[in-house]
Amino acid sequence: MGILEKIAEIEREISRTQKNKATEYHLGLLKAKLAKYRAQLLEPSKSAGAKGEGFDVMKSGDARVALIGFPSVGKSTFLSLMTSTESEAASYEFTTLTCIPGVIEYKGANIQLLDLPGIIEGAAQGKGRGRQVIAVARTADVVIMMLDATKGEVQRELLEKELESVGIRLNRCKPNIYFKPKKGGGLSFNSTLPLTYCSEKLVQLILHEYKIFNAEVLFREDCTPDEFIDVIVGNRVYMPCLYVYNKVDQISIEEVDRLARRPNSVVISCGMKLNLDYLLEQLWEYLALICLYTKKRGGNPLTVYSLTVLLTTCHRIHRTLASQFKYALVWVSL
């Protein structure tokens, strides 16, 4: 039985198992096995394949944004409208076959925008160059999920499922769990608050599935078994996602209002160039970029991430400055 068959069988077992106190340990083990098989599926093949055209592009600018969506939802048209790059757009599917980069110049920042080929259901298993598309998406700072407003919520659910299965967590924070494997001493389990989803026994069973018998575990928040598995695996990517509904000129005003009120969502029309300015404002907020002006008169501003201002600034000036850095004086203008 191959890995895909094992994954499908575990998913069927999870779907037909009722969730209650009696089955929580069984479900926890199934989820741990499912995460292991999915990790094996994403490992690069050992056999050397034929050489082809490169897919990823060099990261440049102040931030990277990846456009993800099904074929023919308007990604190439959006890239052409927002940047000076012309991406081929047509009425048939799979117009874009490789990664096409463009640059958005906004508030003094250069934001790299990547037009990725449309992905299909089963992309996480490699269908339709899905693995390559998702691998590029993991390197982005923000994901723009381009959706067809005329297709309802089906596309959004399928794309979220594909990204979830390869370890991309959208609009979520990293679980506040301290986990450290040890060479001996067994399991040391503690929590700073009452837990409703995990127990010491369940944590121990999940760790045994990963052949971990000695570790320190401290829950600082009430996390689920899935979140604890993410901490064990350690290769999960947590990034903000902006859901962009295109072609809103083809639906009713009531439906437009409903989609616009959804969390992390923006409605646009590339064909009629509607609401693109608001989308840029939202993208700037999601990137959390700020302009930093050096004290030297006439110096050019640096655009850096607000959460790691000093470290990012050092890297922007010179790669060796961070190791020699001692202190800085910062003035904030509000």
Q: Are 273 and 257 in contact (CB under 8 A)?
A: no
Contacts of 200 (CB under 8 A, 6+ apart): 187, 189
Share the mean pLDDT of the chain: 80
pTM of the model: 0.77
Q: Which of 91-105, 108-122, 293-307 has the lowest mean pLDDT?
A: 293-307
Give the pLDDT confidence score for residue 51 in this predicted structure. Answer: 47
Distances 111 to 59, 102, 105, 153 between C-alpha atoms, Å? 10, 8, 6, 28
Q: Which is more confident, 325 or 114?
A: 114
Give the pLDDT confidence score for residue 165 in this predicted structure. Answer: 80
Give the pLDDT confidence score for residue 295 in this predicted structure. Answer: 64
Q: What is the pLDDT of residues 198-237, one digit of tens each?
A: 889 999 999 998 899 999 999 999 999 999 999 998 888 8
All structural domains of the chain with their residue ranges: 3-43+175-233, 63-88+95-172+237-287, 290-323
Cα-atom radius of gyration of the chain, to the nearest Å?
23
Tokens, residue 125: 């298993």
Task: Check pLDDT > 60 for residue 197.
Answer: yes
User: Which pLDDT band, with edges at 50, 70 and 90, does 101 fall under?
Assistant: confident
CATH entry 3.40.50.300 includes domain 63-88+95-172+237-287: yes
Report which DSSP code applies to 93: S
Other Cβ atoms closer than 10 A to 268: 24
